[in-house]
């Protein structure tokens, strides 16, 4: 018997990849507090701009390898030689702007950690550590962005982050569990 999932593409194996199902079931809208995973998701969401999330999921392990496990300290130290190496890596998205943004974001991420003690404290501070649960019943109710993503986007941009517009940040907030947009009937809430 098939389990009940959100009906915007996660409902059947025929419509989505196994990786997408696992992402939906195990990670999407689940609270994340590990620093490297918060950074990883920020990079992956930025890389997703203009391409499908399925493509990102299919390349995720390659991204993790290429970006040294998404250790922000290591990524922050990347120079031109590493950028050129990444530009030749067929296992990832070879977009110079996105690669350079990941490095810029690693540096900004470290500054936020220094200021707030952790990126987790900074990010979850916008909701006082609580998940915003929209209790959706229909896919038409899910926004592409909202006031929270606009506020966090503006704050990140002010701190020097790149590829962090409100739509990317809304998806990021779902990805790290600050926003729960699983439908009410979904067994993976």
Give the residue numbers annotated as catalytic, written as ranges. 23, 45, 53
> Phi and psi at residue 72, in whole multiples of 5°?
-60, -35
For residues 106 and 124, give the distance between their C-alpha atoms in angstroms, rounded to a whole number. 18
CA triplet 56, 90, 105: central angle to 5 degrees? 55
Q: How far apart (Å, rounded) are the C-alpha atoms in residues 131 and 147?
A: 15
Which residues are CB-contacts of 14 (< 8 A; sequence separation ≥ 6)? none
Distance, in Å, from the CA atom of 149 to the CA atom of 79, rounded to the nearest integer, reads 31
Residues paired with residue 136 on neighbouring β-strands, in sequence order:
183
Looking at the DSSP bridge assignments, the partners of residue 183 are: 136
Give residues with Cβ within 8 angstroms of 185, minimum separation 6.
4, 137
177: Cβ–Cβ under 8 A, 6 or more apart, which residues? 29, 30, 31, 32, 131
């Amino acid at each position: 018997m098939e389990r009940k999932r959100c009906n915007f593409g996660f409902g059947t194996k025929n419509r989505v990849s196994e990786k997408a199902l696992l992402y939906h079931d195990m990670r999407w809208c689940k609270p994340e507090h590990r620093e490297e995973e918060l950074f990883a998701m920020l990079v992956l969401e930025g890389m997703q701009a203009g391409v499908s999330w399925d493509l990102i999921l299919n390349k995720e392990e390659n991204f993790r390898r290429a970006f040294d496990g998404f250790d922000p300290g290591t990524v922050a130290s990347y120079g031109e030689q590493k950028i050129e190496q990444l530009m030749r890596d067929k296992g990832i998205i070879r977009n110079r702007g996105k690669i350079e943004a990941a490095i810029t974001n690693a540096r900004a991420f470290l500054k936020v950690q220094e200021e707030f003690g952790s990126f987790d404290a900074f990010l979850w501070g916008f909701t006082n550590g609580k998940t915003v649960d929209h209790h959706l019943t229909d896919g038409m109710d899910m926004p592409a962005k909202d006031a929270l993503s606009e506020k966090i986007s503006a704050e990140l941009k002010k701190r020097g982050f790149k590829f962090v517009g409100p739509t990317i940040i809304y998806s990021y907030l779902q990805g790290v569990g600050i926003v729960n947009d699983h439908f009410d009937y979904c067994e993976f809430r």
